[in-house]
Amino acid sequence: MNHSDALAASQAPSPGADLVLTNGRIYTVNDAQPWAEAVAIKAGRFIAVGSTTDIAPYINDRTQVIDLDGRFVMPGIYDMHTHPDLALAPEYAGYLDVGIEDPTPEQVKQAMLDYAANAPADAEGWVYGAYFVRYTFKQAGIVPSRAWLDSFLPDRPAAILDRSWGCMLVNSKALELAGITADTPDPRHGYIERDSITGEPTGILVDGAYALIHAAMPPTPAHALQRAYGEAVHFQSGRGVVGTKFVHVCEHRLNALKAIDQRGKLTVRVEAAISWQDDIFPVKRRWELLAGERHFYRSSRLNANAVKFHFDGTHESRSSYLSTAWPGDTRWRGHLNLTPEHITDMVVDMDRKGIRVIAHCTGDGASDIFLDAVAEARRRNGPNGVQHQCAHCTTLLDKNLSRFAELNVIAEFSPVGWYPSSFSYARAVFGEDRMQRAYNFKGVLEAGGTAVMGTDWPVSSFDPWIGFEAMVTRENPWGEEEGRFYGEPIALEQAMRVMTINGAKAMDIDDRAGSIEVDKYADLIVLDRNLFEIEPKGNIHNTKVEMTLMEGQWVWDAHGELDGTEHQAVWQRDLPCF
Amino acid sequence: MSPIPVTIVSGFLGSGKTTLLNRILNTSADMRIAVMVNDFGAVNIDSELIVSQTETMISLTNGCICCTVESDLIEQLTQLIHAPDIRPEYLIIEASGVSNPAKIVNTLRYPQFTGKLAIDSTITVVDASQFADLEGEPAQLAMDQLDIADIVLLNKADIATDAQISAFKQRWSYPGLRLYSTHYCDVPLSLILGTGHFNPDHFDEHHCAAEHDHRCSAHCHSHDHQQMFDTWYWQSQRPLSLSALRQALAELPSTIYRAKGFCQLVELPERSAIVHVVGSRHDIQPGDLWKGEAPVSRLVFIGIRGGIDQDALQHTLDGCIAAQISPIDTDTTI
């Protein structure tokens, strides 16, 4: 215990501080005063930053005083791109789990009937879950088809995923509700299996065709979304995150976030980006939200003043849109999901409304077109518009590095995979030439741009400290593989800015947050190690965050130092395990 | 341009897939075959056959090519079917030992490949000793491999014990399983590749004249492994019922490995229906319009020698003839 609630000071200015942290090694990320020993906080803001002696006068009999005992403190950190709902909510939704390793058709049938008899009310009659095994059907001499499902679930919509084929088996009622008939065109990246002669759907939907059923199903239940986001912000507070962007939301997700906010459990500032496309989940109230309904969710902790879209594809499917052909090809440059004209008009329109556009751009051709669209928005709407955000930035054209600063566009990267591993090298498919300039974090920063990091969970780990280390070392944090990954590492001081003040800038609050300065929000984290006194490799990713303070409120207390006091943290001791 | 037939070869590492691929690549097959493998380490091509080699493609003197599957199968297939200089006449895809072959089957059925690629057969090579005591993920992979299999090659049959073989059948068998025992994957290529040797277009040139109606049968020897197979022909001028034909094809005896041909169906009066049977899988697709031709059904069956019970098969197929409805009547009732 390093605190005292009643350490009075004789010459306290009036009024005294609510909270004083003293005797620390405080790295402020404020160039004018990089280091301090103590801070005084009142009404959620820093009112003094300086030496232990400087701060002593702010202590009165109502001040909570924490003796840091030499511990290292820095501003809270920012995760600028993540998806906890996609990572967690499906498993919390209460869908059917057959729960048998290799279920026979009879066992699948029984599990579906049992579920149907006890289905949760929010399932709206749907029997949806996993899984069946096609091989056990083959062994039983049964063709998995809608006729089989109809034989025991004729009236309620039913859909069950298979274990490994990438297909879903649905009954006639589900097809009817989803509007799938012989005339329905196949979606991209998938197909509706059809009778070869009649063309009628058989009930098997493959890969991308799932989306047709998901669009017809009730949305992910509110309880599952609330649990997912609740656990996510708990984890983030425990890892020192004070600002984050949940990139892709709909009205149901916003409702869940608002419910958590109103319970006082939204312990991270959240910018939520409304999905521009329906490719992940349907957004039925998109236009109402964009027109102004989003403001009903607004609080000091929550805003939905952003829109997210998928401009190009991914490196796995060679659909990232490149400026020239993919390696081994003379023509294929990847795929744009929306036309450049669509992007331009949309960016100009959103910019005018004050809505941030977050554009998924993995290929250097996609980001090039996005930057052109922002340039057009600046030309039409004037130079003082919204900061837009280029997401992932896996490869960038050298000529575009300086445009991030010129056009006031945030370059957001996912550094969690920037270390040698079979996983990351398998993804290095852009060809040696492009990989040499991949993940050009340093290039954007040196050209004066704002670069930030996102964990992009569940694509990569939710723990921002892995990416924090990787951007400084580009080496494997666990020593599993030798050598350095593509791209230039950045200095620790620079990485500190990326993780803190740059994040605040990307949320338009750098005048109020992101560094430890008088009048800014009292956000800080107490660590178990001084990042400037350790070998970065292998020692940043496993940093323990002992305490997290958000606007003067303790939101995380790893050791329960404040237990039983009036200052007890919102979350203590244990982190959710994902 | 007709679709390129595709054969998928799956099986665990060490099952004998490599031996099979080498056998295919190193045999002059009278056609340009492309083999897609995970890496060249999977094949061992006679160096005298190699004309040229790049990082991703080996060209052989017999016109065949061998290429590695890069990151994306969809993109690579698209390139292969659109490149005039390398467009193969036949495509073989190796599903590497650890990858899920079902995903490859799914990909080939994507709409963008309709009419361009057509799965001829899916062959799973099994070493019975590897299938003993499988659990967890390997067992799941084995299920996927057998699920997609049209024909299972029980390889190393010479060294597997009777107990291993019977244990394999006990645990893994399914109705209609076509299990072909072999060693060193010395299997007649015409069994696993739809090479056109049994093309029903040559029906009349063979032993069967049209006037025989549905009463003809004959033996025919395949080019390789002479006299290992029997071939039997069936035809009828009367339209068939789709559901009856499907059931008949699904229940063919397991000694019949392939059937091919076209039919007139009550349900599809204006055009022929193309029938394709490989092992335990059958497929019936709409074919060409009859136009002026008299509608007719002609099917060729290939079974292991002595494996075709002509009378029984005749009876089954005659049973598919729709009840006393002439094609002209069906035109007015459908």
pLDDT at A10: 42
Helix, strand, coil tally for chain B in percent (to 5): 30, 30, 40
Q: Are residues B49 and B65 in the same domain?
A: yes
Query: CB A197 to CB B110 under 8 A?
Result: no
Q: Are residues B256 and B220 in the same domain?
A: no
Does residue B24 carry a pLDDT above 70?
yes
By C-alpha distance, the chain B residue nearest A331 is B79
Query: CB A166 to CB B102 under 8 A?
Result: yes
Does residue B211 carry a pLDDT above 60?
no
Q: Are residues B274 and B133 in the same domain?
A: no
Two tokens at A259?
A: 């419910």
Q: Are residues A295 and A147 in the same domain?
A: no
Q: Distance (Å, rounded) from C-alpha A276 to C-alpha B134?
A: 47
pLDDT at B115: 87
pLDDT at B227: 66
Two tokens at A173?
A: 């009622």
By C-alpha distance, the chain A residue nearest B173 is A139
Q: Which residues of B touch A197 (CB under 8 A)?
A: 242, 265, 267-268, 273, 284-286
**Residue of B74, B103, B110 to mutate, interface with A, max A Cβ within 10 Å:** B110
Q: Are residues A152 and A287 in the same domain?
A: no
The beta-carbon neighbor of A191 closest among B109, B146, B174 is: B109
Domain that holds residue A16: 3-77+520-572
Does a structural domain hold residue B279?
Answer: yes
Return the top range by mean pLDDT from A463-472, B3-12, B23-32, B127-136.
A463-472
Main-chain phi, psi angles of B17, to 5 degrees = -60, -45
Distance of CA B194 to the CA centre of its chain: 6
Closest CA of chain A from B224, distance in Å? 32
The beta-carbon neighbor of B143 closest among A133, A191, A315 is: A133
Q: Are residues B283 and B264 in the same domain?
A: yes
Does a structural domain hold residue B331?
Answer: no
By C-alpha distance, the chain B residue nearest A189 is B110
Closest CA of chain A from B169, distance in Å? 12
Which of A521, A468, A509, A463 has the alpha carbon at shortest distance from A490? A468
Q: Are residues B239 and B182 in the same domain?
A: no
Chain B CB within 8 Å of residue A470 CB: no
CATH of the domain at A388: 3.20.20.140
CATH of the domain at B263: 3.30.1220.10
Q: Are residues B261 and B160 in the same domain?
A: no
Does a structural domain hold residue A294?
Answer: yes
Does a structural domain hold residue B287?
Answer: yes
Residue range A239-283, pLDDT digits in tens: 999 999 999 999 999 999 999 999 999 999 999 999 998 878 889
- In which band, very low, low, confident or very high, does the pLDDT at A427 lie, cut at 50, 70 and 90? low
Q: Are residues A501 and A526 in the same domain?
A: no
Contact A129, A116 (CB under 8 A): no
The beta-carbon neighbor of A165 closest among B102, B110, B284 is: B102
pLDDT at B196: 52
Does a structural domain hold residue A577?
Answer: no
pLDDT at A190: 84
Q: Are residues A272 and A414 in the same domain?
A: yes
Does a structural domain hold residue A51?
Answer: yes
Does a structural domain hold residue A222?
Answer: no
Q: Which chain B residues have any C-beta within 8 angstroms of a chain A C-beta? A: 56, 70-72, 74-75, 78-79, 100, 102-103, 106, 109-111, 139-140, 143-144, 146-147, 173-176, 242, 265, 267-268, 273, 283-286
A171 vs A484, higher pLDDT: A171
CATH of the domain at A199: 3.10.310.70
Does residue B19 carry a pLDDT above 90?
no
Q: Are residues B29 and B128 in the same domain?
A: yes
CATH of the domain at A42: 2.30.40.10
Closest CA of chain B from A140, distance in Å? 7
pLDDT at B283: 92
**Residue of B56, B98, B174 to mutate, interface with A, max A Cβ within 10 Å:** B174
pLDDT at B324: 60
Instruction: Say which residue the tokens 């200052």 belong to.
Output: A567
Query: CB A163 to CB B109 under 8 A?
Result: no
**pLDDT average, residue stretch B290-296:** 90
pLDDT at A405: 96
pLDDT at A91: 85
Number of domains into which chain A is organized: 3
Does a structural domain hold residue A494?
Answer: yes
Q: Which residues of A touch B79 (CB under 8 A)?
A: 329, 332
pLDDT at B71: 54
Q: Are residues B151 and B185 in the same domain?
A: yes
pLDDT at A297: 97
Q: Distance (Å, rounded) from C-alpha B24 to C-alpha B125?
A: 14
Sign, CA dihedral A202-A203-A209-A215, equals positive
Neighbours of A182 (CB within 10 A): 11
Helix residue spans in chain B (DSSP H): 17-25, 73-82, 101-108, 136-148, 162-172, 189-192, 242-250, 310-318, 327-333
Query: CB A165 to CB B75 under 8 A?
Result: no
Which of B310, B315, B295 has the alpha carbon at shortest distance from B238? B295
- In which band, very low, low, confident or very high, does the pLDDT at A285 lie, cut at 50, 70 and 90? very high
Query: CB A186 to CB B111 under 8 A?
Result: yes
Q: Are residues B58 and B95 in the same domain?
A: yes
By C-alpha distance, the chain A residue nearest B72 is A317
Query: CB A135 to CB B75 under 8 A?
Result: no
pLDDT at B47: 72
Q: Are residues A492 and A526 in the same domain?
A: no
Q: Which residues are within 8 A (CB) of A374 and not within 5 positions of it... i.e. 6 or more apart?
A: A347, A351, A357, A388, A407, A409
pLDDT above 70 coverage of chain A, percent: 97
Q: Are residues A305 and A440 in the same domain?
A: yes
Neighbours of A341 (CB within 10 A): 9
**Residue of A167, A195, A197, A321 to mutate, interface with B, max B Cβ within 10 Å:** A197
Does residue B202 carry a pLDDT above 80?
no
Lowest mean pLDDT among A368-372, A531-535, B100-104, B314-318: B100-104
Q: Are residues B216 and B247 in the same domain?
A: no
The beta-carbon neighbor of A318 closest among B72, B143, B144 is: B72
Q: Are residues B210 and B107 in the same domain?
A: yes
Does a structural domain hold residue A514?
Answer: no
Chain B CB within 8 Å of residue A133 CB: yes
- In which band, very low, low, confident or very high, does the pLDDT at A136 lie, cut at 50, 70 and 90? very high
- In which band, very low, low, confident or very high, does the pLDDT at B99 lie, cut at 50, 70 and 90? low
Within 13 Å and on the Cβ side, how many CA atoms surround B108?
22
- In which band, very low, low, confident or very high, does the pLDDT at B206 lie, cut at 50, 70 and 90? very low
pLDDT at A537: 94
Q: Are residues A524 and A500 in the same domain?
A: no
Within 13 Å and on the Cβ side, how many CA atoms surround A78?
32
Q: Are residues A421 and A320 in the same domain?
A: yes
Could you say which residues from 26 to 55 on chain A have a Cβ atom under 8 Å away from some Cβ of chain B? none
Does a structural domain hold residue B327?
Answer: no
By C-alpha distance, the chain A residue nearest B78 is A332
Does a structural domain hold residue B332?
Answer: no
pLDDT averaged over chain B?
A: 80
Q: Which residues of A touch B74 (CB under 8 A)?
A: 317
Does a structural domain hold residue A512?
Answer: no
Query: CB A316 to CB B111 under 8 A?
Result: no
A421 vs B62, higher pLDDT: A421
Instruction: Count how many residues are written for chain A.
Output: 578
Q: Are residues A343 and A407 in the same domain?
A: yes
Does a structural domain hold residue B323?
Answer: no
Q: Are residues A210 and A307 in the same domain?
A: no
Does a structural domain hold residue A223?
Answer: no
Instruction: Say which residue the tokens 């989803």 belong to.
Output: A178
Within 13 Å and on the Cβ side, how many CA atoms surround B175?
12
Return the top range by mean pLDDT from A13-27, A522-536, B294-308.
A522-536
By C-alpha distance, the chain A residue nearest B144 is A135
By C-alpha distance, the chain B residue nearest A196 is B285
Q: Are residues B122 and B239 in the same domain?
A: no
Domain that holds residue B137: 4-225
Closest CA of chain A from B333, distance in Å? 16
Query: CB B74 to CB A197 under 8 A?
Result: no
By C-alpha distance, the chain B residue nearest A193 is B109
Does a structural domain hold residue B168?
Answer: yes
**Residue of B147, B179, B254 to mutate, interface with A, max A Cβ within 10 Å:** B147
Does residue A207 carry a pLDDT above 90?
no
Number of domains into which chain B is organized: 2
- In which band, very low, low, confident or very high, does the pLDDT at B82 lie, cut at 50, 70 and 90? confident
How would DSSP label each residue in A194-215? E-TTT--EEEEEEETTHHHHHH
**Which of B206, B225, B244 is the last residue in one of the domains?**
B225
Q: Are residues A179 and A235 in the same domain?
A: no
pLDDT at B42: 63
Does a structural domain hold residue B314?
Answer: yes
